[in-house]
Amino acid sequence: MSQINIKGKKNFWQRPEGIPGAILLIGGLIAAGYGLMQIMPSIIELAENMIYLGAMCAGVFVVGYMLLDQRVRTLIWYFYKSMVRKATGVFIQLDPIAIIEGFLDDLRHKMEVMENQIGALKGQIRKIKMKIQEK
């Protein structure tokens, strides 16, 4: 199944939340590796008992089966994307309608400033015309 990138459509990593998502993913992998390194002596000690070893193998099998199941991976991916999108939304405006509304508010403010400047300019022109008529 090939993915067609329609013009204007960006994948998750190309959107504004992609970079924080990548940083969070790399940080999570580093933290998981460090945590595994810290608990490895305990895991080795538990593996010496056959009952605990069987339970751990069953747990690894269940986790592995879940990670290989497409539906579970999709669920995890959507959860991860929504979590990163919410976290990024705190710092960056992601809602396109809110972005446009903010842009329109900025344009309205600039228009008010421009109208005030045009009014001041018209007043100056009127003063100059009055001085020309007087002279």
Domain assignment present for 40: yes
pLDDT digits over 4-42, tens only?
555 667 777 777 777 888 888 899 899 999 998 998 888
Q: Look at residues 28, 21, 25 and name the one whose alpha carbon lies nearest to residue 86.
A: 21
Q: How far is CA 89 from the centre of its chain?
A: 6
110 in the same domain as 80: no
Torsion over CA: 25, 42, 69, 76 (sign) = negative
pLDDT band per the 50, 70, 90 thresholds, residue 67: confident
- Token representation of residue 118: 């045009």
Q: Does 77 map to a domain?
A: yes
77 and 19 inside one domain: yes
Q: Indicate the pTM of the whole model.
A: 0.48
| pLDDT value of position 49 | 80
Q: Which residues contact 84 (CB under 8 A, 6 or more apart)?
A: 17, 20, 21, 24
Neighbours of 21 (CB within 10 A): 20
Question: What is the structure's pLDDT at 19?
Answer: 81
Please say if the pLDDT value at position 1 is more than 50.
no
Q: Same domain, yes or no, for 29 and 76? A: yes
